[in-house]
Structure 1
Amino acid sequence: MNTKTIPLTIVTLTIALTVTSGCTESANSQSENPAATQPEDLPMLSEQLEEKAASSVTRIPEDVRQAYAQGIEKVRATGIEKSAKQVGDAAIDAQLTGWDGSTVKLSELWQEGPIVLMWYRGGWCPYCNIQLRAMQQSMDKIENSGAKLVVLTPELPEKAKETAEANDLDLVALHDKDNALARKYGLVFQLPEAIIPAYRDKLKLPEYNGNDAMELPLSATYVIDQSGKITYAFLDADYKKRAEPADVIKAVEAAAQK
């Protein structure tokens, strides 16, 4: 496919709970003081996510919140934040299809310029929806830096389209069927047993992903330069934490100068 013709504002392929790991500086260290790098005209994603998390205190019973918190720590304890693809590793190529039927080969995109590769878990995840809206608000700055934003998700194409429409997003989501690419990046984890009923019965994960696998990808964000090398990685087992748009833009600008 001639990627120059792709109206690629965002492309989609998900992975569950999030993970934070290294980048040129570690993603964790960058997010400790996001105001230091956040332009005034960009939304502070961390504040929006924290506000959402705070609101859950009044909506979600304490025992349920504790189960989710323990689930995050169990995922972190697997070491996935360190075993997933890191800064300096070679990116993995793939050919993926969006819900509009377009086909995208990742290597063809990054050969033209840096790409931001971002996984979201699904439209059922409020934190994913907040992140998607924030990244779209940053699209002009990302593209003006010479990069393309590629969004990936495990949810079925028709669900990804619904997610885009519900959030008023100008994007075509790429389908990472059965988390195949996320698995190669080392981002996939099994849901802890205690929270499986909530994801299966309440959130309807099988209906979104088209399979019965109780697994998700981390909500990871990578920047890949024109040589196909990962130059930035945000990996965090806590699904309530995501890469700050300003940090991603800084990483894109650095990759574009190489």
Structure 2
Amino acid sequence: MKKIICLALFTIGLSAYAQNNLPKLATEIAPLLIGEKIPTFTLKSVENKDVNVTELISKKRTVLVFYRGGWCPYCNAHLAALAEAEKELLDLGYQIIAISPDAPKSLKGTDDKEKLNYLLLSDSAGELSKAVGIAFQAPENYKAILNKDSEGVNSSFLPVPAVFILNVNAEIEFEYITPNFKNRISNDLLIAVAKSLSK
């Protein structure tokens, strides 16, 4: 019994340490840089199936988007804008993958509402967001919605909205990271950069 209690306390301690280890503010993050590689992770799809992110990226140049969740109106506007740019990006040889802390069920709600053709993936535990260096401690007023939309997995972190353009080796060729969540990359700039990198 002592062992179980010690193990439980150790797990809680690790969780608290991981949370406290995250930057407190969006402006304090330390993201991966151009030339660095996105780490290998398996995330969940809208259908709750495992998806190996590196394997997907190896098939096609990728516009990798991190957003806060389907509850965020600025994120939904950005996802809808990306849908408008998708045909041109596809014609340039890219795919779009968008990742948030939302659980698969919440992703499905966003997918159905926004009628998106590109892939949404769940990073509810924040493993990829943390590895990429864009996660920070969620302010208190966000914790309830994060907990609800991640189905109890996340109430502690938020990703800073970010767009990465990757080659098939998962190397970052461009990044646009906005600690002010109200600001997002324009389609014109994204397509101009995608064109330039695809030459």
Q: Same fold (TM over 0.5)?
A: yes
Aligned counterpart, 2:19 = none
Aligned counterpart, 1:208 = 149
Give the count of matched residue pairs. Answer: 175
Give the TM-score of the pair, scaled to structure 1: 0.63
Any runs of at least 4 consecutive aligned residues in structure 1 with deviations exceeding 4 A, and if so which?
A: none
Name the one with the larger strand percent: 2
Q: Distance in 2 between matches of 1:103 and 1:211?
A: 17
Residue among 181, 190, 204 paired with 2:128: 181
Structure 2: which amino acid aligns with 1:75? A
Residue among 64, 89, 114 paired with 1:142: 89
Gaps of 5+ in 2: 1-23
Q: Distance in 2 between matches of 1:206 and 1:74?
A: 19
Q: Identity, % of aligned pairs? A: 25
Question: Alignment RMSD, CA only?
Answer: 1.9
Q: Deviations over 1:18-47 (max 9, x none)?
A: xxxxxxxxxxxxxxxxxxxxxxxxxxxxxx
Residue among 13, 19, 26 paired with 1:75: 26
The structure-2 alpha-carbon separation of the partners of 1:212 and 1:228, relative to structure 1 and needing over 3 Å to count, comes to closer
Q: Helix, strand or coil: the match of 1:250? A: helix
Structure 2: which amino acid aligns with 1:199? Y
Aligned counterpart, 1:113 = 60
Q: Distance in 1 between matches of 2:60 and 2:198?
A: 7
Q: Distance in 2 between matches of 1:173 and 1:143?
A: 16
Give the TM-score of the pair, scaled to structure 2: 0.80
Contact 1:223 1:248 in 2 (8 A): no
Aligned counterpart, 2:34 = 87
Q: Helix, strand or coil: the match of 1:170? A: coil
Q: Helix, strand or coil: the match of 1:173? A: strand
> Greater CA deviation, 95-104 or 84-93?
95-104
Equivalence map 1:25-40=2 (5 Å):
none
Q: Helix, strand or coil: the match of 2:58? A: helix
Q: Distance in 2 between matches of 1:228 and 1:200?
A: 31
